[in-house]
Every structure is written in structure tokens, then in C-alpha cells.
Structure 1
Amino acid sequence: MTPQPESDPHVTSVPVPPPAPYPLPSGARPDYFRDPRYKSPMLAAVLSLMPGLGQVFLGYTRLGFIHAGTIALLVCLMSSNRLGLLEPAVGIFMTFFWLYNLVDAYRRALLLNEAISRMETPELPDGFGAVSFGGRLAMGLILIFVGMLALLNLRFNISMAWLEHWWPAGLVLLGVYLVGRAVKDRAAQAESSQG
């Protein structure tokens, strides 16, 4: 057995609290600055005034692009002047979706912060923090298509009048893509719950 060192009765040990990881700003709430992964819900909501930007700030990149694309398509619908009696309904839906986009970013920031503060791993969607391969592929194909149309019109003076009648096909393609993603995600969730 190794002999235990005798303690000096004149020296008292005082527990020293661990140092803070970094100094807090004056007037700051300590619970909000414990972890650099915390996100400001108010900043996420303000960034979402540009639809989708708040979700991108939180790391939900794919969702941010979907929100931005949805608003862009709704604006195109409203500016086409071909909706007739449906124009008020589309306008109300666009306003609702824009406000939903703000609330969604705020709530996602709160839930993310709560998961971090409880030291739990937050349940994040596929593609968190980065655009997935499918998202990059779709974005690349869209850019190629739009660039080719612009090149044909500007360089070769080919009329783009047909777009006025065929632009709703873009809505159909986006809807097919979103339905396909939903079915694929549901199948993956069913497999993981069985396994």
C-alpha cells in the first residue's frame, strides 16, 4: 500500500468554480450564452422577412429554398394577371405563407435552443446544414435551363412567348418533386421504426 500524504492542518482547500468559457456581455442572460450553437429566435424571424433565409440561418437549407421558391412562384402567379377570380385566394394564401415562414423560423430556433440546453441531440431533417445532392442537382438543372432560355433569347433572338402559356408546368414539376420527397421520407421513417 502506498502511504497517504499527511494533510497540513493550516491549509484549507477551497473549491474553485470552473471558469466560464467566455465572458458574458453586460446585462446578458447567462442561459442564452452558454453554448455558441444557440440561435437567436428573433434574428431568425427577422431574416425570414426574406422568405427562407431564417431557415437557412438555422441550418435548414433545403426547407429555406423550398420557402423561397414557393413565395417566388406565388408572386409569379399574382403578376401573371390570369388568375381572374382566384387572385384574392392566391393573395391571401401568399400572405399566410409569408407569415407562416416567420413563425416557423422563430419556433425552430426555440426548439433547437431547447434541445441544446437539455444536452439532447435535436431531431433534424435530412440535409440539415447543407444542400443535399438532390437539391444541388435540381438547382443546377434549373440554372442550366434558365440560362439556356436567356441565351437563346438574347443571342439568337428566339421568342420566349411560349413561356406565357407553359410556365404552370414548373409548378407541376415542383409539386411532383415535393410529393416524391415526402413519399421517400415516409418510407425511410417506416423502415427505421421497424428496424
Structure 2
Amino acid sequence: MPHPLLPPDDPKRRPPTDIAALAASVDRVGKIQLIIVGLLTLALVAIPLYLWRRPRAGEDSSEPLVRPVAAVSATSADTAAPPSSAAPDAGTSGLSLSEMSVLSCHDRGTKKTAPSECDRLPAIESAFAAAIVKRAECVPQSAGGGTIQYVADVGFARTRNKIAILTPRDGRTLKSAKLASTCAAAVKKELASTSLDVPHGHERYKLAVTASYAGR
């Protein structure tokens, strides 16, 4: 019970000690929470970064994890390089082939393209040479040997007979015209399943290669 001679207790006149202590406590708790949040944020960023940058198992840590773009491009270019138009190895069949050449390339109309300006068809050239080698037995050694010039007439715009095989008379020394015709038919049959889905700059090409058959 308050003393009758003392003024009543006014909460507004109480010393602010309790309020200041409470504010300081709240301020300390807030700082601690901020520190904890900061440490958690740092950990969330630093741990994935370390895992990403550390060397993988089996890799030399002295080498970069990412190969330079130029090196990758060069390697890919070497791997994807088209096969050479040089003749495949004929083994012991007694057959040898000359280098492949492009006799001509044509498009519709009167415009003519010089053979030296024609683009190449590496995939078809390789298939053409391989077909001749595979059918080397079309000229038996008993025939006395000789040469046959094979000309592949490739027509991308044709719906039928897309690859025709010719054996010009002035391009062969083999005496038997019948054997030359037989070889042309055999090579054409071998090329029947060859895909023409290859890059090309013209509608029609003539490719030529000379096969030399050994005789007995």
C-alpha cells in the first residue's frame, strides 16, 4: 500500500534501466543472427565452388579442366576429315589404281565450270575406288593384264541410275572389251547402295580413275 505522503508510483518516471538492458539484449541477438546468416551464405557459396574447381579423380591437376576451344576444334577436324581419294590397298589382287580426278561438273543451263573449279566428293570417290578393288576378280590374270579407265557419272538430280559406270575405249589398254563391260557392271552393282546424301555444289559430276590389272 503506497504511503499517503508519497506520490503514486508513475511507470513513466521509472528509470530506463530495464528498457535499455532489453534493447541491448535484442541488439546482440540480432547481430548474432546476422553473423550466423552470413556464415551460412558463405558456406553455401564456397563449398560448391570448391567442389567444381577441384581436380577430378585420375586427372592431372596441372592441366586445365576445360580444353581450349582451338584444340578441340583441331582434334575434331582431324577426326572428321574426309577419306583421301587415294586408291585403297589392293593387296595381292594384282590391281593398282591411279589418283581419282574430276573430269567435269555440270548444272542445268549453258554455264560451264572448269574441272579445276569443281568441288570434290570424298565419300563417293572412296566408295568408287573401293568398289573397283572389291571387284578386281572381274579381270583374271589369264587375260594378260592391262588398264581400264572407269568413269563414274554421278547425277544428283536424276531419279534413276544415279551412278552410271563407263569404260571409255580410249582410256583402256585391256584387249577384251567384254571384260571391260563386265567389270563396269560389277562396279556399278557394288555402288548401288551408295548414299548420295553428301555435300555437293553441282547437279552432275564425272569422276575418273584408271585401274591397272597385272597379267601372267
After TM superposition, the score normalised by the length of structure 1 is 0.27
Q: Which has the higher helix share?
A: 1
TM-score of the superposed pair, with normalisation by structure 2: 0.25
Larger radius of gyration: 2
Q: Which has the higher contact order (CA 8 A, sep 6+)?
A: 2
